Amino acid sequence: MATEAFEDIAETFDFLDDWEDRYRHVIELGRAMPPMEEALKSPFTKVEGCASQVWIHPVLQGAGPSATFDFTGDSDAMIVRGLIAVLHAMYSGLSVAEVTQVDAMAELARLGLDEHLSSQRSNGLRAMVGRIQSVATDAARA
């Protein structure tokens, strides 16, 4: 249930031969993301469980299960900022009900991220996915 933007990333990863090229691509995705407003970087938006500083600010259009999900995010680590960009491609534009149905770890495994991230980065990635899923679940109930 991946978005077209995520499918584009998956196709690029299929084209890139080695992990170093994929790693650089993730960093480039992070660099291309618009910056997050400093005012949004607060304890409320900070994601706990990440080795780096990570902030995710959800942006919902509408209410209930059909509300459209989006978010802004940032990190003080370039690779993590790139992972945020990958998650943005995965979730942006879906309804909150659809967000709750995405098996993010299976989708990310298609990129080989599960094999090449340190355990700390993997834990942080799971924490980011957990935050997104929690926001979507709460919004779908509203």
The residues that are catalytic are 50
Residue 132, token pair as written in the block: 């997104």
**Structural element, H or E, at residue 12:** helix 4-15
Give the Cβ contact number of residue 132 at 10 Å: 25
Q: Identify whether the C-beta of residue 26 lies closer than 8 Å to the C-beta of residue 10.
A: no
Residue given tokens 């910056």 in the structure block: 35
**Listed residue (73, 76, 64) closest to 128, CA to CA:** 73
Distance CA 116, CA 135 (A): 27
